Amino acid sequence: MDGNNCEELKILVFLLFNKYGSLVLDIYTTSIIITRSVKSLRRDIEGSRGIPVTKTGKGTGSDPVKYGIYDIASFLISQKTKTYNI
């Protein structure tokens, strides 16, 4: 990761933490941030692809899937479209 992306990652993690007040977020909040459906995120989890997740608990009660804000920020930066002036 180059210097610009590293700085951008730090800023994005800082902003996400300030907005949500947590180092990990649930699948619903993550879907809003990255503008993808919960259904598509669940397919990613089943296929072991996409943003890394942490599974907590045994699946009873609240959703046991959590996304780290660092991983969310890294994903967002990796999805940027690169443009070139020719």
Instruction: Provide the pLDDT for residue 4.
Output: 79
Write out residues in the chain with pLDDT < 70, as ranges.
Answer: 1-2, 58-62, 82, 85-86
Domain assignment of residue 11, yes or no: yes
d(Cα 11, Cα 17) in Å, to the nearest integer?
Answer: 10
Domain enclosing residue 25, as ranges? 3-78
Instruction: Provide the pLDDT for residue 31.
Output: 97
Domain assignment of residue 86, yes or no: no
Per the CB < 8 A criterion, the answer to whether 73 and 13 are in contact is yes
Instruction: Provide the pLDDT for residue 56.
Output: 80
d(Cα 62, Cα 42) in Å, to the nearest integer?
Answer: 15
Output the CA torsion sign for 43, 49, 53, 57: positive
CATH of the domain at 68: 1.10.10
Output the CA torsion sign for 34, 39, 41, 43: negative
Q: How many independent structural domains does the chain possess?
A: 1
Domain assignment of residue 84, yes or no: no
Domain assignment of residue 27, yes or no: yes
Instruction: Please write the tens of the pLDDT for every residue from 62-84.
Output: 678 999 999 999 999 998 876 77
Domain assignment of residue 71, yes or no: yes
Domain assignment of residue 85, yes or no: no
